[in-house]
Amino acid sequence: MDNIFPVIRSSLSIMIPIFFAAAGGLYPALAGTLNIALEGLLLAGAFSSLTVFYFTGSIFAAILAAIAASLLLSMLHIFAVFRLRSNLFITGLAVNMLSSGLCVVLSDKIFKTRGVVSTIAVPGLLKWYFLMGLVLIIITWLAIYKTPFGLRLRACDKNSTSLKSLGINPIIYQKTAILISAVFAGIGGSFLSLNLGAFVPGMSAGKGWIALAVIFLGGRNPFGIIAASFVFALAESFSNYAQGFWNFPADFILALPFVFTLIAMIIISIIGKKSGLQK
């Protein structure tokens, strides 16, 4: 029993960035324009928040910086997709790579290192980010299911023609959805570095990709995303603790969360197909 609580706490710490990225990514997913750039947005949020906190000591300013950096990358993403007509998925991958390289270059210019940038860890962040996440997910549920905005957003995916016939431009809602996802991902990225008290290149470590899987495993539902995020975080936390108990190769144990992601996606796909057949 003594080992359970550290695992749960570790799971919640891992869950926060996944949850924020998935909750934000839900908006463009419902609008028919999946945001592949979540991984890069998390990383940009992590670096910018730590940089601002390093020089100002203000958590509020650090979170705002994370949101701003994430929004800037998303505006570039939007420009490429909607103005230049670039492929949505290729542009998302490009943003991920740009964010990864840009963080290293800026780290070299600002901190004179391409490695770890450290400062003091902020105590008590887990509780506040968790509460913030609950508030945002409730707001998300209300916005999606109880407002005209949410109705039109969901119509962008399969009923965009109907929106156009009413004089509503679905592209505006798709752009807005991407920007909302950027705000959420920026906040999630800020937790990564502020909670650790350091920025490590590549510290998002696939959490943006897992967030994409979480969106669908959660049934594209705000509250389903909470459960799916925790399950994946628990799998990663378990894999971290398992390294000290199992005599399996470390690479195999570290791959468990991603293996679990693949298995879960297959199960959901099978269930979805059976449900479709039953209907």
Walk along the chain (279 residues) in steps of 10 and give the mean pLDDT of each run: 64 90 94 91 95 92 96 95 90 92 91 85 86 93 92 84 81 93 95 91 88 87 87 76 59 65 66 52
Q: What is the pLDDT of residue 32?
A: 87
Separation of alpha carbons 74 and 92, rounded Å: 9
**Residue 249: which region, alpha, beta or left (left: phi > 0; alpha: psi -120 to 50)?**
beta
Q: What is the pLDDT of residue 278?
A: 42
Angle at 10 between CA 6 and CA 13, to 5 degrees: 145
Q: Phi then psi for 117, rounded to 5 degrees?
A: -110, 120
Nearest one of 101, 126, 103 to 45, comparing CA atoms: 103
Q: Where are the domains of the chain?
A: 15-208
Summary mean pLDDT of the chain:
85
Q: What is the pLDDT of residue 55?
A: 92
Tell me, rounded to whole angstroms, the distance of Cα 198 from its chain centroid: 19
Three-state DSSP class for residue 147: coil
Q: Give the tens place of pLDDT for each residue, 27-58.
A: 999 998 889 999 999 999 999 999 999 999 89
Model pTM above 0.85: yes
Q: Could you tell me whether strands 198-199 and 117-118 are parallel, antiparallel, or unpaired per DSSP bridges?
A: antiparallel
